[in-house]
Structure 1
């Protein structure tokens, strides 16, 4: 059955790959981004789909995105709060205030806004719908020095999703999509040369490219849309298996284009 899916931050990276994978499976997709030129280009690259400029930190802009999507397609079945940013790999006390604020605005406030808009809209439409929030480093309590601000927002999103699952009205669900380590700018940016060399081996074992992860997530974003669901790609068992088989693997260094 065809679904209508809205993806925030769907003009680049994993969001763009997810949009493409959903389109290939016959679904109707709407994306948003903050860069007007890139947003227009993404819409064209995805076959002329609806692609709108919207900052997730502004709830009114997300409400306008909902209205545009429902005006065209009649409803939104799945809403994916994918938009996310990271910051320079620095101890928190060295992190510029504007970077810290933007990370919180996009990663946490943006998810709060997306949930508020989508849940209220889905509660008012026949058949309800499902909201996915994107998990990330810190969501499960892991700590990486230098990424405290980013990790704190993802920890908050995990709590928010669990709490919201107990609050949503009948017919509406929320859940977490956990893509694992995905080779995008969000993962690989900010490394010094020395850090890059140290990280390369682990990331080459655990990280996957967008064209591998996106189809996997696309299938589950539709088939596992149940309240309180958590879809996790990089499980502890998979991590152990990858390290055990690493000497025999031909996986490429993720920093290699």
Structure 2
């Protein structure tokens, strides 16, 4: 068996987090499985000697600190943090309230930041540890009806890239995972919320979007159990990669984004490259 690690997983009572927790336990690792409702987490995972279930609302600094302390008290260290807890506020930007935008950011961006902030002192003391954050293909490209979600994931990407540069000198590693569509519970009524400020101009398109997103639940091509196993493989790499595209659709999306960025860069290369400040011209008096 590989060296036992301690994994702290957010949103571990359902959906992808549950699969990751089960995979880590099966691999012989210690797991700190967290969720807003610890009873549901415990019921989903059952009993195991190397399992600790802890209450954690990722938006609560107090919860995050208590969860990390409980993990260290029980297992002595932390090796892998998986920022997984998620929700989805779907809708056209104008129809989403600012409160809904803030709630999306609270879960998809500020929540992972809160938990990571609590974990980093432990990892720095150890001079070892890995921070894994589940992003999305929505962190690579925006899409209609996904303004809130894509905004939160784009911000998540920037934060994680910056964090990598900051913590690498301590021997810490980061990984961003960009899943495509997986058959998780993200599109269930418990996790998906729709815009609540309807505007007549969007009526026809909104109806089509609502039909798609509600109908697509349970139809996603990706298998979350396979993703969980793949994640264990990726985290075990030395060195760990900084990004993992999860799913054939994610690979296709990444390739399309890279090609579009290259085309957009090349299209105005000459104009873009001619914008340097001309010290000589600036020093010459006009007229």
- TM-score bracket for this pair, using the shorter chain length: 0.7 to 0.9
The answer (yes or no) to whether the contact 1:178–1:230 under 8 Å persists in 2 is yes
C-alpha distance in 2 between matches for 1:237 and 1:72: 37
Please, which of 208, 212, 222 is the counterpart of residue 226 of structure 2?
212
Once the two structures are superposed, residues 142-168 of structure 1 have per-residue CA deviations (whole angstroms, 9 ceiling, x without a partner) of: 122111101111111111111111111
C-alpha distance in 1 between matches for 2:145 and 2:119: 33
1:231 positional shift: 1.6
Q: Partner residue of 1:104?
A: 105
C-alpha distance in 2 between matches for 1:237 and 1:85: 19
1:15 positional shift: 0.5
C-alpha distance in 1 between matches for 2:98 and 2:49: 39
Tell me the SS of whatever aligns to 1:208: coil
The answer (yes or no) to whether the contact 2:29–2:50 under 8 Å persists in 1 is no
The answer (yes or no) to whether the contact 1:175–1:225 under 8 Å persists in 2 is no
Does the C-alpha gap of structure 1 residues 225 and 132 become closer, same or farther in structure 2, counting only changes over 3 Å?
Answer: farther
Q: TM-score, normalised by structure 1?
A: 0.80
Tell me the SS of whatever aligns to 1:185: coil
Tell me the SS of whatever aligns to 1:223: coil
Q: Partner residue of 1:79?
A: 81
Does the C-alpha gap of structure 1 residues 45 and 195 become closer, same or farther in structure 2, counting only changes over 3 Å?
Answer: farther
C-alpha distance in 2 between matches for 1:177 and 1:45: 28
C-alpha distance in 2 between matches for 1:237 and 1:52: 32
Residues 1-257 of structure 1 correspond to what in structure 2 (within 5 A)? 1-44=3-46, 49-87=51-89, 89-125=90-126, 127-140=127-140, 142-168=141-167, 169-187=169-187, 195=209, 207-223=221-237, 226=240, 229-234=242-247, 239=252
Q: TM-score, normalised by structure 2?
A: 0.72
The answer (yes or no) to whether the contact 1:4–1:78 under 8 Å persists in 2 is yes
1:45 positional shift: 6.3
Tell me the SS of whatever aligns to 1:158: helix
Once the two structures are superposed, residues 3-44 of structure 1 have per-residue CA deviations (whole angstroms, 9 ceiling, x without a partner) of: 110001111100100110111111111111112432332342
Does the C-alpha gap of structure 1 residues 158 and 235 become closer, same or farther in structure 2, counting only changes over 3 Å?
Answer: farther
Structure number with greater Rg is: 2
1:124 positional shift: 1.2
Q: Partner residue of 1:247?
A: none
C-alpha distance in 2 between matches for 1:25 and 1:79: 16
- CA-based RMSD of the aligned residues comes to 2.8
1:193 positional shift: 8.4
C-alpha distance in 2 between matches for 1:166 and 1:238: 25
The answer (yes or no) to whether the contact 1:42–1:51 under 8 Å persists in 2 is no
Q: Partner residue of 2:260?
A: none
Name structure 1 gaps, 5 residues minimum.
241-257
C-alpha distance in 2 between matches for 1:66 and 1:237: 32
C-alpha distance in 2 between matches for 1:172 and 1:232: 21
Name structure 2 gaps, 5 residues minimum.
195-205, 254-287
1:219 positional shift: 2.1
C-alpha distance in 1 between matches for 2:6 and 2:13: 17
1:232 positional shift: 1.6
The answer (yes or no) to whether the contact 1:43–1:51 under 8 Å persists in 2 is no
Tell me the SS of whatever aligns to 1:50: strand
